[in-house]
Structure 1
Amino acid sequence: MKAVIIDDELKSRKLIQVLIEENCSEIMEIFQASDLESGVAIIKEHQPDIVFLDIEMPKHSGLQILEFFNPNEVAFQIIFITAYNDYALQAFKLAAVDYLLKPIDKSEFIQAVQKAKTLLESEKVNQKLEDLKKAFQQLSLNKMALEIPKGIMFVSHDDILFFEADGMYTKVYLKGNESQLICKPLKHFADQLETKTIFYKPHRSYLINMKYLKELSKNDGVYLIMENNKSIPLAKEKREEFMKLIHEVF
């Protein structure tokens, strides 16, 4: 972990550094600044985890720190340290981890650092979960999760020939003459693939991947023949729509 101490008093900066070195072994790097502008420059360069910040300083108050950052740049925890308790409410409005009064109490200092560490770890976990969520969202652009009895299959849309309703279940036909019975109704998949125009619902019991459509047969009704030779009925109310699409595209 890294820390930055921003305080206009050299004696105060040295005291905080000693407290860190003697009680916070997880903080490996410590930087110092005597004014807010210099401290902000150090923060932007070194990306610390914790900022120990005095409030009463010449030119700029420590309470102005967030004015120097965009919201997405604030990845550090702030512990305000001051000789005046009048600033407590303002400090906490800035989402400070803690507010320590001078002279600094050692146990309160350690508790404040521990609180900051806990918050940092929580944020890192949340960020990892968010990154993982984004990765899964990217994966879902080309794949879907099929919950099978032994776990979950991640199947490419291109590997799905069609879906067939089976009561409250759905049978999924895949390339290579493989099929899986999934404990979800057909509507679940129809809703999930609604934006994937390659999938078409010719009948209330079927959802097909048009990529694997081989033939339209008018032998004893109208059927769509898939590449695995499975015949899928084309519902009467769908025939005009389907034929219009065929004539417009091909």
Structure 2
Amino acid sequence: MNDLKIVIADDDVSSRTILRHFIHLFPNYNVVAEATSGEEFLQLVLQEQPDIVLVDINMPGLDGMEAVKICRQLLPALQVIFITGYDEFAVEAFEVSATDYIVKPIERTRLFYALEKARKLIEMAKQCAAVKAKQPSKRLGIRSKNSIVLLPMEDILFVEKESRKTVIHTANEQYETTETLNEIERELDNCFFKTHRSYIINLKKIIKITQVGETYLAHFFDSEKVAYISKLKFHEVQRRIFDMNN
């Protein structure tokens, strides 16, 4: 495996120096960037696309916990290790699926254990992805005009009820059918969820969720299309995405 990329976020320079020094002693890990605030951390994560982040919780402005919650919407597979001077945040840390939680002062052996734990989780995720890639993709068969279209489910972003027709959206195409939303829902696998009376969304394709008034918009990888999530379904969507990534 190639070296794993690490971003450190801590407003205390001595803590960053100790972490960088220890990591330099470990093989197969590489610190690619350091941040001193939650806002800077977010920018660096998007820029560097690290495998692992070491994050202090108490930072000026946007704190580490909130910054990680935002990052997890964008990079669900990101391995998070919290580094903090307090143990009061441990429960909340594991609620956001932190890989580990280290209380300062930082010990070299403890840090190495946490990094190796993150490495194993990354390797397991890659192995699972490789197995899934070898399996034949499931397809959704729909009647569209005078044809039967067989769409790989992994290509579907969302399904939308539009007047008397139903529209299946991929990143670059859309397919209309007279089949109802409920009929299509019965054929889809468990990656799909009815987020609104008129929408079924592929939760694996969501890159971020934004709020607009009383409702929410789901945004997708490699597409400018959006789908609606009702206020009543928002927390269930969050829970399902969390479960899928753990």
> How does the TM-score come out when normalised to structure 1?
0.51
Residue aligning to 1:15 = 18
Residue 7 of structure 2: aligned partner: 4
Superposition pairs of residues 123-138 of structure 1, within 5 angstroms: 123-133=125-135, 136-137=136-137
- Written as runs of structure 1 = structure 2, the 5 A alignment for 1:208-223 is none
Q: Give the corresponding residue for 2:77.
A: 75
Give the Cα separation in 2 of the matches to 1:67 and 1:20.
25
Match of 1:121 among 99, 120, 123: 123
- Amino acid across the alignment from 1:31: A
Structure 1 residues 118 and 70 mapped into 2: Cα distance closer, same or farther (>3 Å)?
Answer: closer
Counterpart position of 2:228 = none
Match of 1:30 among 32, 38, 43: 32
1:90-101 pair list within 5 angstroms: 90-101=92-103
Conserved? CA contact 1:17–1:30, under 8 Å: no
SS at match of 1:59: coil
What's the CA shift for 1:72? 5.4
Unaligned runs of 5+ residues in structure 1 are: 142-250
**How many pairs align?**
137
Distance 1:61 1:72, change over 3 A: closer
In proportion to residue count, which structure has more helix?
Answer: 1
CA distance in 2, matches of 1:36, 1:73: 16
Instruction: Please report how far the alpha carbon of residue 70 of structure 1 lies from its aligned counterpart in structure 2 after TM superposition.
Output: 6.0
Q: Report Cα offsets for 1:80-123 as digits up to 9, x if no partner.
A: 00001111111111111110011012211110001000000001
Higher-Rg member (1/2): 1
- Which amino acid in structure 1 is aligned with residue 20 of structure 2? Q
SS at match of 2:44: helix
- Contact 2:5 2:30 (8 Å CA) reproduced: yes
CA gap 1:41/1:20 in 2 versus in 1, 3 angstroms: same
Could you tell me the percent identity over the aligned residues?
A: 31
Asked whether the equivalents of residues 8 and 31 of structure 2 are also in contact (C-alpha less than 8 Å), the reply is no
Question: For residue 21 of structure 1, what is the amino acid of its counterpart?
Answer: H
- How far apart in 1 are the matches of 2:100 and 2:72? 22
CA deviation map 1:16-70 (0-9, x unaligned): 0001001x21113431010111111111111111100000111112111244246
For residue 129 of structure 1, report the CA deviation from its aligned partner: 1.7
Give the gaps of 5 or more residues in structure 2. 142-246
- Letter of the 1:105 counterpart: E
User: Could you say what secondary structure the match of 1:28 adopts?
Assistant: strand
Residue 102, structure 1, aligned to residue 108, structure 2: no
| Greater length-normalized contact order (CA 8 Å, ≥ 6 residues apart) | 2
Tell me the distance in 1 between the aligned counterparts of 2:57 and 2:51: 19
Counterparts of 1:162-241 in structure 2, within 5 Å, are none
Residue 76 of structure 1 deviates from its aligned partner by 1.4
Q: Note the aligned Cα RMSD (angstroms).
A: 1.9
2:70 corresponds to which letter in structure 1?
F
Q: Is the 8 A contact 2:41 2:67 kept in 1?
A: no
Following the alignment from structure 1 to structure 2, what is the Cα–Cα distance between the partners of residues 54 and 44? 18
Match for 1:7: what amino acid?
D
Task: Give TM-score, length-normalised by structure 2.
Answer: 0.52
Quote the Cα distance in structure 2 between the aligned partners of 1:86 and 1:67. Answer: 18
CA distance in 2, matches of 1:75, 1:32: 20
